[in-house]
Homo-oligomer: A and B are copies of this chain.
Amino acid sequence: VASSRSTIYTVARESGVSIATVSRVMRNGSGFSEATRERVLSTVAEMEWVPSGAARGLATQRTGILGLLFPDIGRGDEVDQESPRYVDEVIRGAERAATAAGDAVLIAATRSTSGRDLAFSVASKVDGLVVLAGSLSEPDLTSIARSLPVVVLANNTTQHELDSVGTDGQAGSRSVTSHLIESHDHHDLAYVGGPTDCPDDEERFAGYQAALGDAGLPVPDRPDAAGDFTRPGGGKAMTALLAERPTPPRAVVFGNDEMAMGALAVLRQRKLRVPQDVAVTGFDDIVPAAHLRPALTTVRQPMRQLGERSIEMLLQRIADPQGPRSSVVLPTQPVLRRSCGCTARARTAGDAR
């Protein structure tokens, strides 16, 4: 009854065996008769005993918990409904993979104040950590990586010696750009980039460059405009683009969906039709992208899989702390919709070449 007071000793006494036997039965091991097993299990159920995770953890040196550290977005209130929710997908994937392996997932967002402190308070409770890019400073990251297994989740290849998972943003960007050129026969393109020194954006721009090169078109060495990855920024960049040229570019590749959305609004105002007058593409496939008119052609990153793979890598690392460092890059997937000129029925492209 007083289940909060029952321990392995209580259960052992009640079922007339030693604590070792109770332990064996609970661990599902061997070394006990079927009769004993049943007796123990029944009293366990009867007493509603749940073995203490802490005690078990102390003895086995394994908590059975994996941590997921991510930067605190959505700091604002309820408003930012549709801001980059990719973290949620990663969490889902991580949860799934961890559960499949019999572990649980502990989540923690690094807030401005905490950072290092939080990381360490979490570190003491888990067997390993998946750290999303941007949640920790480089020094903190390497420091914490010395006291427990860490896998880094970043979009761009990282040079430190930690295991890492990422996506191939360059290939995705290259793919949609090529699509614009080859399938829709557009040759007058422009690229709107994000913040300066943003590795994600650099990668995407590189893909854009590569596609132009592939097609034998002149390759620019920097984006035609910058939009800071925000919706207003995208609008302004679009406006600037229209202002500085006699005729609008036939197609504009944006570094992310938010900017593309801002541009779409500007184009509508200017009575320029998408995709008839100007084709537009984004990056990320945020939720609203599919519901815009026209629906936005973009590139999807396999967030769920990122979560899953990162956990799998972490488990691998925990199992073999000395093993060689591994780094995985997952493919991105172009999502062709109306805004690039495809028909409404166009399906997601299969390859990310």
Contacts and interface: CB of A to CB of B under 8 A. Distances in A.
Given A99-B114, A293-B293, A104 B105 contact: no
Contacts of A82: 287, 290
Interface residues of A, number: 60
B108 A106 contact: no
Interface in A96-129: 96, 99, 102, 104-109, 111, 114, 118, 120-126
A50 B92 contact: no
B104 A106 contact: yes
A121 B292 CA distance: 44
Contact of A63 (B3, B49, B77, B125): B125
Query: Which of A52, A107, A305 neighbours the largest number of chain B CB atoms within 10 Å of its CB?
Result: A107
A42 interface: no
23 contacts: A4-B147, A48-B143, A49-B147, A50-B123, A50-B147, A51-B124, A52-B124, A53-B126, A54-B56, A54-B57, A55-B58, A56-B124, A65-B106, A77-B304, A78-B305, A81-B290, A82-B287, A91-B107, A99-B108, A99-B109, A104-B108, A288-B290, A293-B293
A282 interface: no
A184 interface: no
Interface string A62-84: 01110000000010011001100
Contacts of A96: 109
A272 B240 CA distance: 40
A285 B49 CA distance: 42
Given A3-B147, A104-B122, A288-B291, 14 more contacts: A3-B146, A52-B124, A56-B124, A65-B125, A81-B290, A85-B85, A85-B88, A91-B107, A95-B109, A96-B109, A99-B111, A99-B114, A102-B121, A288-B288
